[in-house]
Amino acid sequence: MLTPKQKAIIWALGIIFGVPTSIYGVQWTLTKFAKQQVNCLSDASQAAVDLSEKQLSEQGDGSQLSKDFTTCRKKIDPNKGTVDFFKEEIDRHKSKT
């Protein structure tokens, strides 16, 4: 049987490295995954809104927007560690302000 200290160490390592070791770890992993999806959708919709009519006509059928969205979706990593996740979120927030 693991001691409470050992359980806490395993739980903390699971959180840091993105490996769910409890129901809380699973919830945190799903939260990080959902936030990445929301960020991708937000970026894609903002790019579509930012296009002026001239740029839209230059886009043609919108294939570049589609490629950017596909690239964004492929970058979503459900196993991303907490440290990497927070670094990206901080960088994202800094770039928007």
pLDDT in tens, 86-96: 999 999 999 87
On whether residue 7 sits in a domain, the answer given is: no
On whether residue 12 sits in a domain, the answer given is: no
pLDDT tens-digit series, residues 56-85: 666 666 677 777 788 888 889 988 888 899
pTM of the model: 0.71
CA distance 79 to 88: 14
Number of domains into which the chain is organized: 1
CA distance 69 to 63: 10
On whether residue 10 sits in a domain, the answer given is: no
On whether residue 15 sits in a domain, the answer given is: no
On whether residue 18 sits in a domain, the answer given is: no
Q: Tell me the residue range of the domain where 53 lies.
A: 26-96
On whether residue 4 sits in a domain, the answer given is: no
